[in-house]
Structure 1
Amino acid sequence: MTQVAILDYGLGNLRSVMRGLEHAGATTTITKDIDEMMDADGVVLPGVGAFSEGMEKLGELKTALYTYVQERPVLGICLGMQMLLETSCEFGTHAGLGLVPGSVREFPRTSGLKVPHMGWNTIHIDQESPLFEGIPQNSYVYFVHSFYAKTVPEHTLTSTEYICPFASSVVSGNAYGVQFHPEKSGDVGLRILTNFIGML
């Protein structure tokens, strides 16, 4: 059975991510232990909250992630995806993990459109990836976020439009990230988690 380590660094809805992965067929461990992480077939980096706090709370897991992702897949979800990027402007400029080129920016205030971007929206699949195998173009997924990822087309797996176009999922090598919550995105989200497990 495929073993997935869900990183517990104090931020994130770990139990719902765990249930989603187990429903998709994985055995999961919620952990902040580096040895447990390194033994897993794949790693999920979830997260809800502020970018700078997330980076600070990762602590020694940062170095371990750099080693892990050289050979095996890591999937960042929501804040976890944003932390894969190089920088964020949330409450000042902060360095991310730098595993995916790009930056995290704040949605511009726009009349009639609320921030955070919350609820169902579509994803446009911009390049083929095993993570989105079998996912129809313009499928709906569930978002909750006030900041968005800006990266180049080479690292954009899917894009979404809300106030401005943004990268709703990203990739660089073995580092994958989704801005939306697959564990809250019904059958589409379950298929994405199943695809991730199939990549391990």
Structure 2
Amino acid sequence: AAAAARLWAASAPRRRPLSCDSCRLFYPEDPIKIVRGQGQYLYDEQGAEYLDCINNVAHVGHCHPLVVQAAHGQNQVLNTNSRYLHDNIVDYAQRLSETLPQKLCVFYFLNSGSEANDLALRLARQYTGHWDVVVLDHAYHGHLSSLIDISPYKFRDLDGQKEWVHVAPLPDTYRGLYREDHPNPAGAYAGEVKRVVNSVQEKGRKVTASAQAL
């Protein structure tokens, strides 16, 4: 605790004038200064090792040697968008298509989960002609305005819930609405989603998409 307090005292004065208050730290009461990652672990400036159960960016672990080598090699050659012809884009799409059903073999390549979720929402609305979305409570989908609107984790602290957003309870048998002692918690949570969808339809509207990510 004393070491963390010293770390906070040293880092906070530099961070405060350059970072807005809404850019909050993890563990603000006991802050961690992470300086390195390797595999499934993160390391602070004192060398302490932490099992990383939070970050969702490094899907194959931090600093995977093959990923580092490939990124370094590509950055030495070209780093541009996908609106030019390039064999790598087609080769990658072909490899993906071999793992998926034929009807899922048209690809959009984006640079973040937020962009992907925003595009998915736009495609759903374009295809269905409807606007309403069903989301799970506590869900978070990204930092774009369109995704804040469908993320209870965020919108409850900001502008509130839009009238076209409908929240279903998170299926949590530990702290949720239906717990382990319920005879059929899966069916009960599915029933809650059905109830939400029915309430949308009773208003003469239809659901364009359901968003479940956390």
The structure with the largest strand share of the pair is: 1
More helix by share: 2
The TM-score normalised by the length of structure 1 is 0.26
The structure with more radius of gyration: 2
TM-score, structure 2 normalization: 0.25
Q: Greater relative contact order (Cα 8 A, min sep 6): structure 1 or 2?
A: 1
